[in-house]
Amino acid sequence: MFWVTAAVFVIVSAFVLAAVFQRRSAPAREEVLNVCVTLGVAATVVTLFVLLVASIWTGRAVASLGASSAVTINLTGRQWWWDAEYEDGTPSRRFHTANELHIPVGRPVVLKVTSVDVIHSFWVPNLHGKRDLIPGYTTAIWLQADTPGVYRGQCAEFCGLQHARMALYVTAESNDAFEQWRTNQIKEAVQPSTDDARRGRDVFLRATCTQCHTIRGTIAGAAMGPDLTHLATRGTIGAGTLPNTRGHLAGWVLDAQSAKPGNQMPPNAIPSGDMQVLLTYLEGLK
């Protein structure tokens, strides 16, 4: 695309320069003028017809993308993270996750994007151009990944203090790997199997966490913060702010304001004993 536009730019520039530097000569003869006009009209008509055929071609290609096999994701921008809901015809197979998308390679993906606070913009440069997330309005975009990989996305519309730390990771993987991931995400959270993890769960449910977060399978069901049901499967916390390790998680729970000032996670003074078992529980949420 770059080289095509570069070539067009060079050609146009050459004509402009030629016109600028060429001296005005004697008035052209009638025959020469006629030939020029005919050539110009012919070139335009041919180009338009080529574009018309190309447009039909593109339309057919888009129509045959296979809408029935598409994966539909409702992506909601928030200050400053992404809430993703994978749609499914069966309500029990819908689920929420945050800040990380998984998509199958070679299958079309429909993203229905919207926002609940200010205007954000979905931008994963390797997969799609920018598309704004408008509060109160849902926009549908189609994309398809042809090469497996992890693609980094970023909010591309200034949305407040932590606009820069509003990243989104898209993992494109084989259809089997994707279905396996989806099957796991649909499940409720793993029941803690050790005493420590059980105590950690109780700390979670007793503390302020349940005011904003959901862990499916427990009584925690609030939707103000990211869904934590499968937190341990995610690579980052705070929308790409920190890697998802035990240490960073502890820092985030205690004082998220130092890593991402202004976000909605309040400081939580959890005693160290409780914190250790809480981390054990959170790390077990595979």
Partner 1 sequence: MRTELVVAAALLVAVAGCKRERRTFRESPPASMASDVAVSDLHPGGGSPPERSINPYEQNAWALNEGKWLFSAYNCSGCHANGGGGMGPALIDDEWSYGHEADQIYRTILEGRPNGMPAWRGKIPDQQIWQLAAYVRSMSGLAPKDAAPSRSDHMSANPPENATPRLTPKNAGTPPAAVQ
- Interaction site with partner 1 (CB under 8 A): 206-208, 210-212, 224, 255, 257-258, 261-262, 266-268
Which letter, b or e, does each residue of 64-100 get, where b requires 16 or more Cβ atoms within 10 Å of its Cβ? eeeeeeebbbbbbbbbbbbbbbbeeeeeeeebbbbbb
Q: Would you say 172 or 239 has its CB closer to partner 1? A: 239
Q: Would you say 135 or 243 has its CB closer to partner 1? A: 135
Shortest CB 85 distance to partner 1, Å: 19
Shortest CB 93 distance to partner 1, Å: 27
Whole-angstrom distance, CA of residue 182 vs CA of residue 71: 11
Q: Would you say 243 or 262 has its CB closer to partner 1? A: 262
Q: How many C-alpha atoms does 98 have within 13 Å on its Cβ side?
A: 26
Shortest CB 261 distance to partner 1, Å: 5
- The alpha carbon torsion through 119, 124, 129, 130 (nearest 10 deg) reads 10
Shortest CB 6 distance to partner 1, Å: 46
Q: Would you say 79 or 185 has its CB closer to partner 1? A: 79
Q: 80 with 160: CB under 8 angstroms? A: yes
Q: Would you say 69 or 257 has its CB closer to partner 1? A: 257
Whole-angstrom distance, CA of residue 286 vs CA of residue 282: 9
Shortest CB 128 distance to partner 1, Å: 29
Q: Which of 125, 119, 129, 126 is nearest to 76 (CA)?
A: 119
Q: Which of 196, 229, 232, 190 is nearest to 213 (CA)?
A: 229
Q: 96 with 84: CB under 8 angstroms? A: yes
Q: Would you say 143 or 270 has its CB closer to partner 1? A: 270
